[in-house]
């Protein structure tokens, strides 16, 4: 690509800032021009799952029936 972008050393402050980043805009344009939406979605879902893993749910202990004497 002939388009060069300037790196932002301040870091990412919010998602809107990431989406408006020139590198990300060029990446979106590349995906759109080459019909790579399905592949990009798979890649993004893997990245999101890696960055935000699902929270583990605590399992309940199974209640056991106590034998009753009649």
Q: Count structural domains, the chain.
A: 1
Alpha-carbon dihedral angle through residues 54, 50, 48, 41, given to the nearest 10 degrees: -120
Tell whether 2 is covered by a domain. no
pLDDT higher than 80, residue 46: yes
**Mind listing the pLDDT tens digit for each residue in 3-29?**
554 444 445 566 667 777 888 889 889
| Both tokens assigned to 5 | 């972008």
| DSSP string of 22-37, one letter each residue | HHHHHHHHHHHHTT-H
Q: How far is CA 14 from CA 5, 11, 27, 35, 66, in A?
A: 19, 9, 18, 28, 55
Tell whether 24 is covered by a domain. yes
Tell whether 46 is covered by a domain. yes
Contact 26, 5 (CB under 8 A): yes
């Amino acid at each position: 690509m002939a388009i060069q972008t300037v790196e932002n050393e301040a870091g990412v402050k919010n998602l809107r800032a990431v989406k408006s980043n020139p590198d990300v805009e060029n990446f979106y344009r590349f995906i759109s021009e080459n019909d790579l939406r399905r592949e990009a979605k798979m890649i993004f879902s893997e990245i999101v799952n890696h960055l935000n893993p699902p929270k583990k749910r605590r399992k309940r202990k199974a209640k056991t029936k106590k034998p009753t004497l009649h």
